[in-house]
Structure 1
Amino acid sequence: MSGRYKAYGEYKDSGVEWLGEIPKSWKAKRLAAFFEERREKVSDKDYSPLSVTMKGIVPQLENAAKTEAGDNRKLVLKNDFVINSRSDRKGSSGVSSLVGSVSLISIVMVPTRIYPYFAHHLLRSYSFQEEFYRYGKGIVADLWSTNSSEMKNILIPEVPMREQEAIAAFLDHETAKIDTLIDKQQQLIELLKEKRQAVISHAVTKGLDPDVPMKDSGVEWLGEVPDHWVISQIKYLSSFVGTGGTPKNPESFTDLDGIDWFSPGDFNSSLILQDANKKISKLSIRNGDAKIYPKNSIVVIGIGATLGKVALTENFFSCNQQINIIVPNEKINFKYLAYSLSNQVEQMQQASNASTIGIMNQEKTKKIWIVFPKKHEQFEIVKFISKKTTEFDLLLDWSEKQIQFLKERRTALISAAVTGKIDVRDWQVPVTQTESDEVMA
């Protein structure tokens, strides 16, 4: 950490790799010396179900996986520490402020000789989490579980109670400041995204001339559009509209130099779609097991949570059946069409068969309404949007980097405090301060 915080006067080697050097007055002891395991089984009918998340212990999330084991859960009382034992849930843990029940895959520990809120920060620290999951066992290379007996053997620092309380108070205050700054950056990101989309929306439905005569489009969501613009459906602006597919032969996929085979998981915040997670061989194209589509096509996700998400392809490609492909004809600029479609996510979601699961098939895609000017004006609009979105993207990138910096600082601060690398015994809540300046210093 920076020179803002002082160190303890003397240190010693803890003999524990994840702890490193600790203050001379501290000791390293087995976790079992400070906690007792709670194994009591209860029903979620008697004790409300809780979720163990990266943000701590909360009432069960709506999207949490539900099981039939409602009568076979673990009891959690206030101040119990709960951690998910599975490696794919790394970081999901915390001291509970609630009474309830959790899945049997969680370990529930009762603080007995340790201050609960110090334990909350200590056992959620990055270093401890790495140590905890290092003891895990499993038959799958990227998924394993750590059991409670292994957890109890992990060495943690024995810290005088007053110091524990001081460290907890310090971290509660400082991490709250950092979390506030992260929230503000996330709010700024959402605002920038909204403004970026508003710029695109206005450009592809109203144009760049504020004084141009307008007319009623006849399409409710479009409203008035420039008088000289054309209103048409996708089927009249494309040479092909179709849906991708999955090769029947597994050998069609290749790890070698192949052709991108896109799925919804390959879509991101960029308008340009590239570098698919899977590739298909050129042989699979030649023998008809896979289809190839031209560059400068527009691809639209036609099913699922990201239905309506739009991207452009710069190279020849293939894709799965969850994606609709639009190959523009000579009437419309491919980038203009992509920007226009990116403005219609809500309309596509409404047009999908939402009674069960939303599906935007190729027939529905063909009926999407687009409004556009002549080619030279389309080009000017594309040029304008590209410039503006680049400006927004730079601001978004800066905000994302600030969030990453703040998260890293938060992680480092917690680790430094709970392992004694900084001395906060005399710390007090500042009376006045510029919090953002302090955190960013």
Structure 2
Amino acid sequence: MDRLIRSENHQHAEKPDTGRDDKIPAHWRLIRLRAILLPTSVNDCADYPLLSITRDAGVILRNVDNTEENHNFIPDDLSNYKLLKKGQFGMNKMKAWQGSYGVSEYTGIVSPAYYTFNLCGDIIPEFFHLAIRSDLYISYFASASDGVRVGQWDLSRTRMKEIPLLAPPRAEQLAIADFLRDRTSKIGQAIQIKERQIERLKERKQILIQQAVTLGLDPNAPMRDSGIEWIGETPAHWSIKRAKYLFREVDERSLDGQQELLSVSHLTGVTPRSEKNVTMFMSEDYTGSKTCQKDDLIFNIMWAWMGALGVSDRAGIVSSAYGIYRQLRPGTLNSQYLEMLLKTTAYIAHYNKVSTGLHSSRLRFYGHMFMAMEIGFPDREEQDAIVVYLDLESGKLNKAVDLLEQQITKLKEYKATLINSAVTGKIRVPGLVESPELKEREFA
């Protein structure tokens, strides 16, 4: 079995490492993909559902109403899209090096740039799907892809045809597929349980934060109606002020664009762009961009409705489209407390309500909207106490989440190893009825 290894000039050589000294069961055949994949090209099928081909799940139904999922452009005219039938093999050739391919469980349409194939020969589709998406074969597709830089590799159909496949007898393919379906289903259930536990822990953390920053730490504190519908009741001794009495909007610009570039998101708040894995356009010159200072409050005006805001822990430069606000009396509001408060559901709901735009993904939360907004808060001493309490309690929940995420990672690694071992013959799966002659055969 030939090994396809990427070198600097994208040449192929050597034998593949199947993980067992290159030994495979002697009764397994070695075939090339050209022998089992027959290209298809059926167009003018716009009435079928739209499919995506992903790295994590192979072929999936595309949710055309999900604005986050559909950051890639969907044309109005889908008449030239390709038909991919249930049981056929589909591939995003630009991302084949990541494993973006698989046997489809659906009949639908995919991008005309994708490869679509019929499976022919004595190959079970479910076995082929499991085998071809294993780590071993993903590395082969990476080796058969070319490009100037990572992320823009294009799969060569000619070289793809030469990728080798280990093909056991049909009965053994069925046994391997049955075995892996059972085992991976149980692993998947275990992962789902842990993911639900993580969700509950994160929800508990959010409730903990919400209660502490909006109601304080004393459950017996006298309460009063704030008079603000979206704030509701608040501790009687807390202050309620419009933002214009606490902040001023600043618009200071960089003279050379050399300061650290910062980004603002609903997930991470204000963070250095260098720490984020983003593919967004990067300017060659940031001269004239807005600058911020440590403890400045920054809103991503276009995504405030999702909670894209934060208090910066450093000086830097941000998008000219962001809103930057500085406390009139520095230290009035604890930076950590302020960020947590402004990210609570009640405040985010307010941004949604007052923002302007024709569509939810095009809403804008401008400076005058923030300045007119009421903010309820305790004195600085109580803010600091709330932050200390939340650091302690959130830390406990974060540790529990980290442990569960580590367990999920190990389960996924075990699943990948199990699949790779089964489809390359390194383990003999149960449920396979073998002849006496076959039982005596050694690995080649």
Q: TM-score range by the shorter chain?
A: 0.7 to 0.9
| Mapped partners of 1:272, 1:137: distance in 2 | 36
- Which residue of 185, 189, 192 maps to 2:194? 185
| Mapped partners of 2:432, 2:387: distance in 1 | 56
**Other structure's SS at 2:291 match:** coil
Distance change >3 Å, CA 372–CA 84, structure 1 → 2? same
Distance change >3 Å, CA 341–CA 49, structure 1 → 2? closer
- Which residue of 155, 158, 167 maps to 1:149? 158
1:273 maps to 271
- Which residue of 118, 140, 144 maps to 1:135? 144
2:217 maps to 208
Distance change >3 Å, CA 138–CA 185, structure 1 → 2? same
The CA deviation string for residues 204-239 of structure 1, in whole angstroms up to 9 with x for no partner, is: 21111111111100111221111111111222122x
Contact 1:243 1:323 in 2 (8 A): no
1:434 maps to none
Aligned residues: 396
- Which residue of 17, 20, 23 maps to 1:21? 23
Residue 301 of structure 1, CA deviation: 2.3
| Mapped partners of 1:427, 1:25: distance in 2 | 14
Q: Which amino acid aligns with 2:398?
A: D
2:260 maps to 260
The CA deviation string for residues 263-312 of structure 1, in whole angstroms up to 9 with x for no partner, is: 23xx474567346469xxxxx99xx8344322122323221387422333
Residue 159 of structure 1, CA deviation: 1.0
- Which residue of 345, 349, 365 maps to 1:346? 349
1:7 maps to none
2:383 maps to 378
- Which residue of 388, 397, 411 maps to 1:406? 411
Q: Which amino acid aligns with 1:263?
A: S
**Other structure's SS at 2:429 match:** coil
- Which residue of 355, 358, 376 maps to 2:358? 355
**Other structure's SS at 1:94 match:** strand
Structure 2: 5+ residue stretches without partners:
1-13, 65-69, 277-284, 434-444
Moved over 6 A (4+): none
The CA deviation string for residues 119-178 of structure 1, in whole angstroms up to 9 with x for no partner, is: 110111122122113212345553022143322211111211111111111111111122
Contact 2:266 2:308 in 1 (8 A): no
- Which residue of 109, 112, 116 maps to 1:104? 112
Contact 1:301 1:307 in 2 (8 A): no
Q: Does 1:311 align with 2:314?
A: no
Greater displacement, 419-428 / 227-236: 419-428
| Mapped partners of 1:244, 1:154: distance in 2 | 57
1:418 maps to 423
2:436 maps to none
| Mapped partners of 1:306, 1:128: distance in 2 | 43
The CA deviation string for residues 247-276 of structure 1, in whole angstroms up to 9 with x for no partner, is: 6x9xx45xxxx5322123xx4745673464
| Mapped partners of 1:89, 1:302: distance in 2 | 36
What are the within-5 Å matches in structure 2 for residues 48-197 of structure 1? 48-53=49-54, 54-62=56-64, 63=70, 65-67=73-75, 70-87=78-95, 90-113=98-121, 114-197=123-206
- Which residue of 365, 370, 373 maps to 1:368? 373
Distance change >3 Å, CA 401–CA 347, structure 1 → 2? farther
Distance change >3 Å, CA 272–CA 318, structure 1 → 2? closer
Q: Does 1:41 align with 2:39?
A: no
Residue 185 of structure 1, CA deviation: 2.3
| Mapped partners of 1:27, 1:244: distance in 2 | 69
Distance change >3 Å, CA 268–CA 358, structure 1 → 2? closer
Q: Which amino acid aligns with 1:349?
A: N
* TM-score, length basis structure 2: 0.81
| Mapped partners of 2:167, 2:414: distance in 1 | 25
Distance change >3 Å, CA 218–CA 298, structure 1 → 2? same
| Mapped partners of 1:26, 1:308: distance in 2 | 56
Contact 2:34 2:161 in 1 (8 A): yes
**Other structure's SS at 1:143 match:** coil
* TM-score, length basis structure 1: 0.81
| Mapped partners of 1:410, 1:336: distance in 2 | 42
Structure 1: 5+ residue stretches without partners:
1-14, 279-283, 429-441
Identity in percent:
29
| Mapped partners of 2:274, 2:120: distance in 1 | 51
**Other structure's SS at 1:407 match:** helix
| Mapped partners of 1:412, 1:268: distance in 2 | 35
